[in-house]
Structure 1
Amino acid sequence: MTPSGTTSDTFPRQYARTQRYTVGQPRSFRVTPDGARVVFLRSRGGSDRTNLLWTLDPADGTERIAADPAELLAGGEEDLSPAERARRERMRESSAGVVGYALDGSGELAVFALSGRLFAADLAGGGVRELPAAGPVLDPHPSPDGRWVAYPTTGGELRLTATDGTGDRALVEVEQPGVMWGQAEFIAQEEMDRDEGLWWSPAGDRLLAARVDDAPVHRWWIADPANPEKTPVQVGYPAAGTPNAEVTLWLVELDGRRTEVVWDRTTHPYLARVHWSAGGPPLLQVQTRDQRGQLLLAVDPATGAVSTVLEERDEAWLELFNGVPAWTADGGLLRIGDEPGHRALLLDGVPLTDDTLHLRQVLSVGPTDVLVRASAGEGAEDQTPGLTGVYAVPLAGGPVRELITGGAADAVRGGPVTLLAVSRLDRPGRTVELLVDGKPTGHTVTSHAEPPVLTARAQLRLAGERRIPSAVLLPTGYDRDRDGLLPVLMNPYGGPHAQMVVQAHNAFLSSQWFADQGFAVVVADGRGTPGRSPAWEKSIAGDMAGPTLQDQVDALRALAEEFPLDLERVAIRGWSYGGYLSALAVLRRPDVFHAAVAGAPVTDMALYDTHYTERYLGLPQEHPERYRGQSLIEAAPGLRRPLMIVHGLADDNVVAAHTLRLSSALLAAGRPHTVLPLSGVTHMTPQEQVAENLLLLQVAFLKESLGMPAERG
């Protein structure tokens, strides 16, 4: 292995080793309520995946190690349970060490699981101690008063232990196989962005805990064909049109007594959000299975009875947001709602923002204002693609204050301290700076991420009549008079929940590397992608394939009017939805696309999960024609172009059956194609050699398919 950061590093090798330049970058920030300290995770270097827990003093910028996994495990290797591995896969977590933590109400105590064991770090006085726990432990949470830690186990129990090291006991014991307490179910983790299954009361005297019964979910088996002596792993997978897990919510007292929180789960089976703060009673957001209806419910913590706070309907679907619904300190209801051309922050139904901002997330609810992340709404003068900013929205109304924009921004806040994190198009990495009382301190959080060995030169545009957010990358040193038109590589995700065209240098590094192999690379965020407007996202309702593919075609043709794109040599590559879109492109539009690499593609939407697929296509029992219309397998006989399909055989999100069924259909139709199976690889590809060689194999396939010289730059 080439040493970290040496001049002999190639981009594929460095890109793989650094996990796309995320290793060594500070992350998972929290600021204590009094602003006395910043807490975060970071490894020691740009190729060291093991995260340590750190604190930073905002007064002088001093950083201190609060917990070091090497010391806590006495230099031993981590031992992860299958349940923890699955949880990390859902969270797209490929690092090691401390990968998550939770704080008590004061921010003086941090608890975390490491190798299935439970640890507590004293952030004020220093020191880490292991707490007795009947693990393996998953996702522990301290009580706000710092006296207790509640934690789920891989066996399904919900347990409680005192932070003084005494009293470990089961709050809820295992009832039957397949029942888990205090954990989020597969579909919540994978599609709702809800990773938690337990919530403390503000007083620390009881909890809300999810009970998940996985028994109704159909069973699939993930085998390892390269090691036939291994028993296939059984997983519960809620495919479209099949049963979900049964999820209920319970009030649990510290003596183990529990009361069910009852709502009409037949009509609203999805528990999407739970909020419990001092501003009001526990607040639930529950959705119908088609996600076109939802309720906000207030819970009586004494009886478990619910009352309806708000009922919402939408003809397409209702989007979920992080940070809301939430109470303000004086009991106002905060949420994000769709408005024409944007999403607004609403307080008790009254918009606090106008059409110049498109709300993405609530970051912090303060006593006088709300910190939000937003992109430009359709009423904004500056429509530069890919910008997200951080703004302070007064609760009393009035002008919104811009904290930072000009890149891809995020923030966290506690008391007088705000951390602003921003990535920009003209520089690698991300900068994290501290503000106190809204004023810069000059302190930043150190990043150990390696600098890339190449520079991305993305040119951002709004392409065509629909003003599709797009980026174009040309080879380093390209000269049009000398080099002429370039073969094109479309490099999209192109579907829901993922925005590729952002004001962030590192987002385009792999595209620049492909460009430096002799391509003009085009990245386009068509209809269905986030960050533009509700109508833009929801225009794919009932038909995902048609609009997303057409926007790739339209962006390509519009950009060819300005850039040196050879429309007679066009390839496309992508992963997950991008893989689906790439295969779809050569199947449906061989007149435009001449070769494709499809990574982990969903080839049959009926094989993908409920909450995602049914949101866009409805139930397959009710709309079979929609599912047939999106199917790559149905379209397989139409293949006329070179197609490489790549799939991890251990993928439990987009299972390998997607690729195998497409390959079988192609073979039955007599259509030549290439399949690259990745033994032991999941939906992520964290293995360094696999990730490195995947890039090299893809570019070789694409060059051969387009008749380009084989030499690599």
Structure 2
Amino acid sequence: MRIAFAALLLAAPLPLLAQEAEPMTDQVQSTDLTFERVFASPSLDGASPRQAKLSPDGRYLTLLRNRDDDRERYDLWGYDRESGSWTMLVDSEKIGSGRELSEDEKMQRERARVGNLKGIISYQWTADGKGVLVPLDGDLYLAKLDGEITRLTDTEESELNPALSSKGKYVSFVRDRQLWVGEVGAEAAPITLKEGDTIRWGEAEFVAQEEMGRMDGYWWSADDARIAVQRTDEARVGIVTRAAIGATGTEVFDQRYPVAGSDNAVVELFIMDPDGDRRVKVDLTSNQDPTYYNDEDPTDFYLARVDWAPDGNLYVQRQNREQTVLDMLKVDPMTGESDIWFTESAASEKYWINLEDNYKFLKDGSLLWWSERDGYGHLYKRGPKGVPDLVEEAEARTEMSGDEAGTMEQLTSGDWSVSQLIGVNQHEGVAYFLGNRDSVLEQHVHSVRFDRKNVNRLTPRGFTNSATMDKDGQALLITQSSHTQPQQTYLADPKGNRLAWVEENALDADHPYTPYLASHRPAQFGTIKAADGETDLYYKMIAPEMKEGRKYPVFYYHYSGPGPQVVTRGWDGALQQAVVDAGYIWFELDNRGSANRGVAFEQPLYRAMGGVEVDDQREGARYLKTLDFVDPDKIALYGWSYGGYMTLKQMQADPGLYAAGISGAPVTKWELYDTHYTERFMGDPREGPEAYEKASAIPNATKMTDPLLLIHGMADDNVVFENSSELISVLQEGNVPFEMMLYPGYTHRVAGPNISPHMWNTIFAFLEKHGITSPE
């Protein structure tokens, strides 16, 4: 009998993963932070557990925990309710081979944003709860709880995307562009063909991994009887010759990279048995509306999401190239035939569809669904096809974006956004989600009943949160932080009541950050008006302990692009405090276009990147210049990726407004960036080249008159180095002085225990050279 998660915890409260320490004394000696210490081990953030899971039998709570002596290496730990203790279940250093990862796995990790992590970065419980599938150093291991570890693979190639089947009978993985399957403990064999260098089976294509949040390329049915497998043909995708320039040599990679306006890979989907038999091709082009799809090339679409539902059918989300419509296809798993269940359209004529994972197929045939159709991201409950009694208001039945009338009811509403569907208790009819209902700056766990639609906040104010839930919606694993408290993780019941700490991470006498608490400066939050004079923009400012009559330089951090919300009340780590300790004011501002503020807030970026962001960030600089403690001649910009692009655009638009700019890994021409991201906001450059020309950072590059530091990793596979090399050439040809720091062998993530302090010391040496220094 399966033990309920909440009952397990109430019966046996968890001890701390690390031993509790005595509270810190009132007197703490102030110690200024250095960049060397910020990036050293142990992490000043404290322990950062990842991927907490409950074993199938309820006996163990497991998670990945990083080491004190190596903040980026993770091992598998488990709490055994029978012994009441935490133990390391798998030591990554003891069983790891140390073999170098394949280039495919390295790049896949970069796109999953875990390229810096070592040791165990993922794992999966066996169905019987007696062991764990552990990928490590490119191979697979089966670790049993009695300490026995069986090596399942031992090859020079990496086993990508490993998974246990739904019932645990099979283990599957991708090797050498084929999908391999075998019974657990037995030899695996390929169940797809080897078809040449441009065909991949079981892998998500580049843009799916990098931009669509989809890392999976195959999906097991609930009964282990069938597998849906992606087949990707990259033959028509253009090649970017990526020179991974390293310290002692250069490797050249011909990378299939679909730049904006070019052909994407052809993606197909097949359903087959675990041995590859009874293979059928899924009809992914069924009923394409020619208004939104390419008549001449029906394969020109995106495979957005794939799911097996409780009704035994496969459901596929198909997105058009322009990303203005998304069709939910219902697929017969035995024939591959499909039809459209419903279509979701963009919330506005000049907008796009933001792909999310905030949906769940329910046992009664209905679907929890996330949509921005009312201007904000909210949850809806869609009844089974042909059940038109869920919406009572007649006027609502005419606004279903092509749906059957009356098949949707809205569960949450208001001028705020649901950011993540956490879990569902189907027996009770309750959904759990993250949202910013109470504050733009705080994400909180909420619940909503399907029948009453009353929303309840389950986490305390003053923190921002992330959360996961067990599959039955019986207990929550919540991680909270604030500007004065690093991340803490605890288990809670369905009402949000804390049952036990998993990682309290208290700032006590033994915490790594405690020596720096005395100089920790408080964050101040506020709003200014956007360039339109109406919209509120949120900012965060951290100032050093200032002396009366003195003016201080500003380190103006920005990202500015669509997606990430920068300004929150969460813990941002010690880096900002190190900058403040150096005598600078840290300032950041979320302009129009950033996430979690609704459609109208994001929409100004439509076909106009590099425009409204510049205008709004200019208002931030102007605001800073009104403050009597700010030196108006010492405001320095810093941004990475989109932020690096924005540094260039801001310096070009307003020479003299900023004292200097640091541009890290910038996009300089959007024609050089990938299809799914770029065309979502900018459209196809073949149809609107003037928008791309206006957004480019190249034509006005020589207008920059303020000091510029350009930084780029020379093996970047995301924002390819050609973006910077073209800018470098234009500036040199125009006799415009600038400085640069290039990092051989590093990708889009230029980071490491020695490289990170080198980069940040370089940045502040650059600022000091140009007189942007503290008055002290």
Change in 2 beyond 3 A, CA 1:563/1:233: farther
Could you list the per-position Cα deviations for residues 565-587 of structure 1 after superposition, in whole angstroms to 9, with x for gaps in the alignment?
33333210111111111111111
Matched, 1:344 2:412: no
Structure 1, gaps ≥5 residues long: 1-5, 377-381
Q: How does 1:410-449 map to 2 (within 5 A)?
A: 410-414=466-470, 415=472, 416-427=474-485, 429-436=486-493, 438=495, 439-445=497-503
Instruction: Tell me how far 1:401 sits from its aligned partner.
Output: 2.2
Instruction: Tell me how far 1:95 sits from its aligned partner.
Output: 0.8
Matched, 1:29 2:52: yes
TM-score (norm 1): 0.91
**Partner SS, residue 660 of structure 1:** helix
Instruction: Tell me how far 1:551 sits from its aligned partner.
Output: 1.1
Write the distance in 1 (CA, Å) between the matches of 2:132 and 2:616.
Answer: 47
The question of whether the paired residues in 2 share the 8 Å contact of 1:269 and 1:289 is answered with yes
Instruction: Tell me how far 1:43 sits from its aligned partner.
Output: 2.1
Change in 2 beyond 3 A, CA 1:396/1:707: closer
Instruction: Decide which of 89, 99, 102 is 2:121's aligned counterpart.
Output: 99
Structure 2 partner of 1:457:
522
Write the distance in 2 (CA, Å) between the matches of 1:553 and 1:529.
Answer: 16
Change in 2 beyond 3 A, CA 1:424/1:48: closer
The question of whether the paired residues in 2 share the 8 Å contact of 1:594 and 1:706 is answered with no
Instruction: Decide which of 151, 174, 181 is 1:152's aligned counterpart.
Output: 174
RMSD over aligned Cα atoms: 2.6
Matched, 1:79 2:100: yes
Structure 2 partner of 1:359:
418
Looking at CA atoms only, which structure, 1 or 2, has the larger radius of gyration? Answer: 2
The question of whether the paired residues in 2 share the 8 Å contact of 1:24 and 1:47 is answered with no
Change in 2 beyond 3 A, CA 1:150/1:576: same
Structure 2 partner of 1:3:
none
Instruction: Tell me how far 1:270 sits from its aligned partner.
Output: 0.5
Instruction: Tell me how far 1:132 sits from its aligned partner.
Output: 4.5
The question of whether the paired residues in 2 share the 8 Å contact of 1:148 and 1:161 is answered with yes
Structure 1 partner of 2:306:
274
Matched, 1:143 2:201: no
Please, which moves more after superposition, 405-414 or 573-582?
405-414
Instruction: Decide which of 501, 507, 531 is 2:567's aligned counterpart.
Output: 501
Write the distance in 2 (CA, Å) between the matches of 1:104 and 1:288.
Answer: 38
Write the distance in 2 (CA, Å) between the matches of 1:568 and 1:345.
Answer: 47
Could you list the per-position Cα deviations for residues 355-377 of structure 1 after superposition, in whole angstroms to 9, with x for gaps in the alignment?
1541111122331222211113x
Structure 1 partner of 2:79:
56
Aligned-partner residue type, residue 431 of structure 1: Q
The question of whether the paired residues in 2 share the 8 Å contact of 1:24 and 1:450 is answered with no
Matched, 1:68 2:88: no
Aligned-partner residue type, residue 725 of structure 2: L
Change in 2 beyond 3 A, CA 1:77/1:157: same
Could you list the per-position Cα deviations for residues 638-678 of structure 1 after superposition, in whole angstroms to 9, with x for gaps in the alignment?
11111110011011111111111111111222211112111
Change in 2 beyond 3 A, CA 1:514/1:279: farther
**Partner SS, residue 417 of structure 2:** strand
Write the distance in 2 (CA, Å) between the matches of 1:538 and 1:37.
Answer: 46
**Partner SS, residue 208 of structure 1:** strand
The question of whether the paired residues in 1 share the 8 Å contact of 2:33 and 2:581 is answered with no
**Partner SS, residue 159 of structure 2:** coil
**Partner SS, residue 545 of structure 1:** coil
The question of whether the paired residues in 2 share the 8 Å contact of 1:23 and 1:47 is answered with no
The question of whether the paired residues in 2 share the 8 Å contact of 1:156 and 1:181 is answered with yes
Matched, 1:478 2:546: yes
TM-score (norm 2): 0.84
Aligned-partner residue type, residue 68 of structure 1: D
The question of whether the paired residues in 2 share the 8 Å contact of 1:58 and 1:434 is answered with no
Instruction: Tell me how far 1:63 sits from its aligned partner.
Output: 2.4
**Partner SS, residue 333 of structure 2:** coil
Aligned-partner residue type, residue 478 of structure 1: M
The question of whether the paired residues in 2 share the 8 Å contact of 1:103 and 1:141 is answered with no
Matched, 1:111 2:133: yes
**Partner SS, residue 698 of structure 2:** helix
Q: How does 1:321-400 map to 2 (within 5 A)?
A: 321-348=355-382, 349-355=408-414, 357-367=416-426, 368-376=429-437, 382-383=438-439, 385-400=440-455
The question of whether the paired residues in 2 share the 8 Å contact of 1:261 and 1:306 is answered with yes
Instruction: Decide which of 562, 566, 570 is 2:635's aligned counterpart.
Output: 570
**Partner SS, residue 539 of structure 1:** helix
Instruction: Tell me how far 1:321 sits from its aligned partner.
Output: 4.5
**Partner SS, residue 365 of structure 2:** coil
Instruction: Tell me how far 1:46 sits from its aligned partner.
Output: 5.5
Please, which moves more after superposition, 215-224 or 542-551?
215-224
Could you list the per-position Cα deviations for residues 681-709 of structure 1 after superposition, in whole angstroms to 9, with x for gaps in the alignment?
11002332221011111112123324536
Write the distance in 2 (CA, Å) between the matches of 1:60 and 1:400.
Answer: 39
Structure 2, gaps ≥5 residues long: 1-28, 286-296, 383-407
Aligned-partner residue type, residue 555 of structure 2: L
Could you list the per-position Cα deviations for residues 27-50 of structure 1 after superposition, in whole angstroms to 9, with x for gaps in the alignment?
122335675433321123263422
Change in 2 beyond 3 A, CA 1:708/1:435: closer
Write the distance in 2 (CA, Å) between the matches of 1:498 and 1:418.
Answer: 25
Change in 2 beyond 3 A, CA 1:449/1:50: farther
Aligned-partner residue type, residue 194 of structure 2: V
Instruction: Tell me how far 1:7 sits from its aligned partner.
Output: 10
Structure 1 partner of 2:337:
305
Write the distance in 2 (CA, Å) between the matches of 1:638 and 1:681.
Answer: 30
Write the distance in 2 (CA, Å) between the matches of 1:40 and 1:648.
Answer: 32
Instruction: Tell me how far 1:449 sits from its aligned partner.
Output: 8.4
Could you list the per-position Cα deviations for residues 43-95 of structure 1 after superposition, in whole angstroms to 9, with x for gaps in the alignment?
2326342211222357886323222222223xx42421111111111112111
Matched, 1:468 2:549: no
Change in 2 beyond 3 A, CA 1:236/1:519: same
Matched, 1:174 2:194: yes
Instruction: Tell me how far 1:8 sits from its aligned partner.
Output: 8.6
Write the distance in 1 (CA, Å) between the matches of 2:30 and 2:143.
Answer: 39
Change in 2 beyond 3 A, CA 1:229/1:409: closer
Aligned-partner residue type, residue 263 of structure 1: L
The question of whether the paired residues in 2 share the 8 Å contact of 1:21 and 1:450 is answered with yes
Structure 2 partner of 1:201:
221
Change in 2 beyond 3 A, CA 1:503/1:111: same
Please, which moves more after superposition, 674-683 or 222-231?
222-231
Write the distance in 2 (CA, Å) between the matches of 1:467 and 1:279.
Answer: 46
Q: How does 1:611-630 map to 2 (within 5 A)?
A: 611-630=676-695
Could you list the per-position Cα deviations for residues 437-479 of structure 1 after superposition, in whole angstroms to 9, with x for gaps in the alignment?
544223323669843746352211122242111101111x223
Change in 2 beyond 3 A, CA 1:658/1:67: same
Write the distance in 1 (CA, Å) between the matches of 2:84 and 2:476.
Answer: 13
**Partner SS, residue 183 of structure 1:** coil
The question of whether the paired residues in 2 share the 8 Å contact of 1:24 and 1:46 is answered with no
Please, which moves more after superposition, 386-395 or 265-274?
265-274
The question of whether the paired residues in 1 share the 8 Å contact of 2:247 and 2:744 is answered with no
Matched, 1:120 2:142: yes
Change in 2 beyond 3 A, CA 1:401/1:126: farther
